[in-house]
Structure 1
Amino acid sequence: MKKKADSVFSQWVLNNRFSVGLINVLLTLIIILVFNRISFIFDPVNVFLGAVMPPVIVALLQYYLMNPVVNRLEKRFKVPRTITILAIFALVTLLIIWMINSMIPVVQNQINSLVKNWPAIWKNATEAIDDLLSKPKLSGLRDSIQKQLASLQKDMNQLTGSAVSNAFSNLTNAVNVAASVFTTLATAPFILFFMLKDGSKLRPYLAHFAPKRWEQATSSLLSEVNGAMSSYVRGQVSVAICVGIMFFIGYTIIGEPYGAALAIAVGCLNLIPYFGTFLGLIPALIIASVTSIPLLVNVLIVFFIEQLVETRIISPLIVGNRLKMHPVTTIVVMLGAGSVWGLLGVIGGIPMYAVAKILVSHLFAYYKKVSHLYADSLTEQKAPENGQKEERENS
């Protein structure tokens, strides 16, 4: 009787994959609960990462942009890598100095003018909406839109008042933020220099910590992650720069009074896939609509020309579909990451998803290899390979 009970226990618990899976899930949840209870232990780690990660991330983004140029110059002109890096640093420094001397005063004047003229722009916009709502056909929407405008104006006044009242109380936070920004800008170039100089040694170094039989697979995984990140960063930043330049040229041609500031805003917002350009277009449409109808039409023409060039030429040429993500997947990832991490999640959600996808795909491939659940599929995959080998031997 005892032997029969042992056999039933072994059959339904020990040797049952479903029961073993449930036990593993339960153990995982218990581990998560324990770590949640002792999360205060990791507070120093969070503080350390909060201080270290900003300059590392800034340097990593610049590394993905500069490393291909450094590799090409080193291979083509046979110049030592250190000299090539220092030369690129000098060129970037000169470019930044030129931008500070030429572009920043123009953008600053346009922003100051926009802030100064914003009350008049807002007044003209509300008057135009009132004139539109005065028509009998739109009388049903009049009260609702007027309430929304009044609520928006009230929120803006409260936000301004709270910002002024909390200015002194937030002075310490402002100083901390300024110190963090200064530290990031001061340390990122040094981190970037050593990334460019010794970055090729990092992958073998990390793969060396893996077991010997997994060393090659780990190196391949790191290479695939690095390729996905570099493709996304270079593609998005390159497209954003091209979009900003195109809008700047277009706004300059049509005489947009705040063209430089709006073009920079569109270029920065273009880092958000699919929606960035449309978000950057909204201020231009508002300003143009209260300025003149011809200017509004010209802004729309610039937008359609830019979209045509971007979607037909720039994006396929620079970005393509290197991450192999469906547009629906991209939108879902952006919405989910944005709801959890805000703007940083919207911008960084897609590369994080790409890295997670690579990791999960490699783990799943390993699980298929060691698990008996996919033995049939592995046998079917090996059968055509064996058939091809026999055909090669016969030929």
Structure 2
Amino acid sequence: MSEYRQDEHTTAKEASKTHTDQSYRHNSWEEHEKRRYSFKEQAIKSMTMFFVVAACILFYFALLRLGQISSVFKQFLAVAKPIIYGLAIAYLLNPIVKWIDRRMIPLLEKHCPKLKKKKQISRGVGIFVSVILMLALITTLLNMMIPELYGSIRDMIFNVPSQMNRFIHEFSKMHSSDSTVGKMLESIVEEASDFVQNWMKTDLMEKVNLWMTQLTVGMIQMVREVFNFIIGIIVSIYVLFSKEKFQKQTKKLIYAVFRPGQANMILQIGGKSNEIFGGFIIGKIIDSLIIGVICFIGLSILNMPYTMLVSVIVGVTNVIPFFGPYIGAIPSAILILLADPLKGLYFIIFVIALQQFDGNVLGPKILGNSTGLSSFWVVFSILIAGGLFGIPGMLFGVPTFAVIYYIVNMLVNSILKKKELPTDTECYGKNGYVDSEGIYIQKEKQEEIKEIQEEKGDKDNADSSTK
């Protein structure tokens, strides 16, 4: 019995020792894992700091070599011009190709079910039709505009000095009094007239002579641009034929580089950007073409001078949102005022009516709410982008800011959803607030709850008194 107890004691001792050894090994393994994880975390932090410092150093040296970098970038853009033209042409022609695909593929499936490569045939027809329409439109516009523009500019150069002299003579008759104000106005008008005439005789003629001496260089440049445009058309055909494949490759690359959540966000932003830019740019081009045609018809009916020149100016500047109509109308009004003051007044009234029609009827019908921006943000984006990048900034500032606005709005809504707060902007007016515990409270509902509680309390008091 004593031997049995001794053996049992020995077995318990060995078991305790084994448990102690296992516990020690487990603790040592946990300490090893903690040290390894700590080392890994420190390594990641060190690498992050290294890359941040390296990026700062590279950015500093890039600022020092900004001129050289910009020259390299300009050289790259000059070489890549055919590809840029091709991508732009493909982007503009894509709606026509998609429209033909949507209608032609069902017809081919209905009438030619055994026909193979229906999509390729429909795509080829769509690209052919869109390219022919583009070339026909460009040719028609050039045939209409170049002779008229040449005649208008020639008449302007020859007639503006005499028109200004006549205007000064009429103005002198109106202010023939010897008053100080009349003399001041007469001297200002005479000085302005002398300045314009001297500019047209000296500076303008010098520039014309300079342009004539650089005609060879200009012709070479023009031929080069035409050649780039032709290559761009060929590139656009390849892009339109393979656009689905390019979309799949881009999506594959994004999912390979980024995490699934980030990739989905990038694809969502890319789709929204395409929707905003496509709707705005194509809609604005169509809107400006219609306004230019209406302006030409109206000025022809009113028998205005410089009809084609003014119509082109109004149509082209109408592409710029908000400020475009004023940019085009002011010099056009001055030209017509010099030719005939009464017709100049009629033109101002006509342009105001035309821009009201565009802003309230035609523009909303074509553009709709493609950007989702209020009037303040439209003016803000045009002023900032125009001040930084000039005319291209005024053209693309609104859709670019609309994309930025969409991204910021999406991020803000995502953060509010995580905090379990409402995303509707109207909820954050005078009647809504968030308390110190992060709970959204609406004042009207809070007052209703208080009224219900008070009514309930009064009812309980009445019941207790009855009892």
TM range (shorter): 0.7 to 0.9
| Partner residue in 2 for 1:190 | 234
The 1:169–1:25 alpha-carbon spacing in structure 2 relative to 1, beyond 3 Å, is farther
Indicate which of 64, 69, 84 corresponds to 1:37: 64
Indicate which of 173, 188, 206 corresponds to 2:250: 206
* Structure with bigger RCO (C-alpha 8 Å, 6+ apart): 1
Indicate which of 72, 75, 78 corresponds to 1:47: 75
- Superposition map of 1:1-395 within 5 A: 30-39=57-66, 40=68, 43-53=71-81, 55-78=82-105, 80-128=122-170, 130=172, 136=179, 137-143=181-187, 146-147=190-191, 149-160=193-204, 162-163=206-207, 166-167=210-211, 170=214, 174=218, 177-210=221-254, 211-213=258-260, 214-358=262-406, 364=411, 378-381=418-421
Quote the Cα distance in structure 1 between the aligned partners of 2:245 and 2:174.
Answer: 65
2:318–2:324 CA contact under 8 A, matched in 1: yes
The 1:56–1:338 alpha-carbon spacing in structure 2 relative to 1, beyond 3 Å, is farther
SS at match of 2:420: helix
Moved more, 338-347 or 313-322: 338-347
The 1:290–1:45 alpha-carbon spacing in structure 2 relative to 1, beyond 3 Å, is closer
Moved more, 108-117 or 220-229: 108-117
Deviation at 1:253, TM superposition (A): 0.5
1:64–1:233 CA contact under 8 A, matched in 2: no
Quote the Cα distance in structure 1 between the aligned partners of 2:144 and 2:159.
Answer: 23
Q: Deviations over 1:4-53 (max 9, x none)?
A: xxxxxxxxxx9xxxxxxxx9999876543122234436743431123314
Deviation at 1:67, TM superposition (A): 1.7
The 1:128–1:190 alpha-carbon spacing in structure 2 relative to 1, beyond 3 Å, is farther
The 1:74–1:294 alpha-carbon spacing in structure 2 relative to 1, beyond 3 Å, is same
Question: Looking at CA atoms only, which structure, 1 or 2, has the larger radius of gyration?
Answer: 2
Deviation at 1:204, TM superposition (A): 2.9
Deviation at 1:145, TM superposition (A): 5.4
**Match of 1:48, as an amino acid?**
F
The 1:339–1:217 alpha-carbon spacing in structure 2 relative to 1, beyond 3 Å, is closer
SS at match of 2:162: helix
Q: Deviations over 1:224-258 (max 9, x none)?
A: 11111101111210111111011011001001132
**Match of 1:75, as an amino acid?**
R
The 1:125–1:293 alpha-carbon spacing in structure 2 relative to 1, beyond 3 Å, is closer
Q: Deviations over 1:164-194 (max 9, x none)?
A: 5645775675356324422332222112222
2:62–2:69 CA contact under 8 A, matched in 1: no
Quote the Cα distance in structure 1 between the aligned partners of 2:69 and 2:351.
Answer: 52
Count how many residue pairs are aligned between Structure 1 and Structure 2. 355
TM-score for both structures, normalised by structure 2: 0.65
**Match of 1:305, as an amino acid?**
A
Q: Which runs of 5+ in 1 are unaligned?
A: 1-13, 15-22, 385-395
Moved more, 32-41 or 353-362: 353-362
Deviation at 1:89, TM superposition (A): 1.8
SS at match of 1:208: helix
Q: Deviations over 1:260-285 (max 9, x none)?
A: 22111210111111122222222432
Quote the Cα distance in structure 2 between the aligned partners of 1:114 and 1:383.
Answer: 58
**Match of 2:325, as an amino acid?**
T
Quote the Cα distance in structure 1 between the aligned partners of 2:398 and 2:51.
Answer: 30
Quote the Cα distance in structure 2 between the aligned partners of 1:322 and 1:205.
Answer: 28
Quote the Cα distance in structure 1 between the aligned partners of 2:173 and 2:338.
Answer: 13
